[in-house]
Amino acid sequence: MIKGFKDFIMKGNVLDLAVAVVIGAAFTAIVASVVEGFITPLIAAIFGKPDLSSVGNFTINGAQFSIGLILNAIVNFLLVAAAVYFILIYPMQKIQERRKRGEEAGPSEPTDVELLKEIRDLLAARNDV
């Protein structure tokens, strides 16, 4: 059971996912700072309120409802999605288009020697376990 857990943790996709979560958390902090430092004051300048959390508040039988909190979450989500698109997705699409047209070289294929070394190392690691 311990060996199975070790194999699961050491898989590349688990490590990639862990890195993605950490980078995502850091990126979210950046976007939150942009929202707090730029977007919120912009909303305050346009609508006269510092944020949307007080918009659409109402009470039914003592239960508080806030449409503004939902609007804040939607604005934050759209800003994060836009930042991811314009900083990561769009540039990668442009690079891929250039590669298809032959304007930019893609990653080189591994040589036969590199592939044989990788196979050797994998077999050696497998025998050590």
Per the DSSP assignment, residues forming a β-bridge with 66 are 57
Q: pLDDT at position 129, please?
A: 57
Euclidean distance between CA atoms 87 and 32, whole angstroms: 16
13-61 pLDDT, tens digit each: 777 788 888 888 888 888 778 777 887 777 778 877 666 677 778 888 8
Q: pLDDT at position 99, please?
A: 81
83-123 pLDDT, tens digit each: 778 888 899 899 888 888 876 666 677 788 888 888 888 88
Domains in the chain, number: 1
Euclidean distance between CA atoms 2 and 85, whole angstroms: 40
What is the biggest distance separating any 2 CA atoms in the chain, rounded to whole angstroms? 74
Q: Which two tokens stand for residue 125?
A: 């690691």
Q: pLDDT at position 103, please?
A: 67
In this prediction the pTM is: 0.50
**Contact (CB, 8 A) for 118 and 73:** no
Domain that holds residue 86: 2-128
The enclosing domain of 113 has a CATH number of 1.10.1200
